[in-house]
Amino acid sequence: MMRGMCIARWIAVLFLFALPAASEPLGYKGAVGDDGGLGEEVALTDTDVHVSDVMLAIFYHELGHALIDVMQLPVLGLEEDAADVLSVVMIDRLWDAESSEAKVASAAYFWAASAAASAAASAETGEAPAFWGVHSPDERRFFTYICLYYGGAPDERAVLAEEFGLPADRAATCPDEFDLAQGSWGLFLDELEAAGAGESLVWLGDAEPEDVVARAIMEEVAYLNSILTLPEEVGVQVAACDEANAFYDPAEQTITMCREMADYILEVAPIEP
Ligand SMILES: [Zn+2]
């Protein structure tokens, strides 16, 4: 079940050579055009694609929390890590080679850029990094995406792994790590797909969202509904929430992708050439 991008390929090369070192200032870019219209004739910029791809990777992560809840899945390890693992499995499973590589490159770039921004903030405030946090540190999330994705097809993805700096010591175990991830999440994804198409993911936003990210998430909801059905309905929305975040609320059974998260991804995005 592979899909390709209908828009120009994201300039992966930009990422491959633009990974920021921890102390380097990050490229800042203003808002993406005026977003006016977004009709078919409006071409998405590379930055639009980048932000949407990172949000999609994070959406798959939140979907992991939702599946753990509504399928009552056992979680043998940290739930946040399990959700990241699902994100990579979904990208590998649903998208063709070129699109999946671009999405993993965007996600990895984001985690590297976010790590650099956090390190710069820590250096300024003197506060230690939040190793106590519920998520693995961004640097580790970066390698989770690169390692697992590489492990899914080592021959085809060796160049990406090398250019993103995956050390040989870790690369050696990535194929087995991917097999375990695929075998674990794959069982449950097979179950959802066996249930066929449905309406279990419920888009709570506008029917014709004007912003690029909301439209990308809405389209993903429609696509997922066309191939699988969850045992219970899960709402999905892109909304303002006063923080750069995304979360699954088990009480409401709703995934919220915060607009501020997209803003933050844009803030630390590479500058277009
Ligand atoms: Zn999470």
Q: How far is the CA of 82 from the centre of ligand 1 (A)?
A: 9
Model confidence pLDDT, tens digit, residues 83-100: 999 999 999 999 999 999
Does residue 64 or residue 21 have the better pLDDT? 64
Please tell me the predicted confidence (pLDDT) of residue 44. Answer: 65
Q: What percent of the chain has pLDDT over 70?
A: 83
Q: How far is the CA of 54 from the centre of ligand 1 (A)?
A: 14
Please tell me the predicted confidence (pLDDT) of residue 2. Answer: 66
Q: How far is the CA of 65 from the centre of ligand 1 (A)?
A: 7
What is the maximum span of the chain, computed from C-alpha positions, in angstroms?
Answer: 52
Q: How far is the CA of 246 from the centre of ligand 1 (A)?
A: 8
- Residue pair 84/144 in contact by the 8 Å Cβ criterion: yes
Residues that place a CB less than 5 A from ion ligand 1: 80, 83
Q: Three-class SS of residue 7?
A: coil
* pTM, rounded to two decimals: 0.85
- Residue pair 182/209 in contact by the 8 Å Cβ criterion: no
- Residue pair 139/115 in contact by the 8 Å Cβ criterion: yes
The domain spans of the chain are 44-267
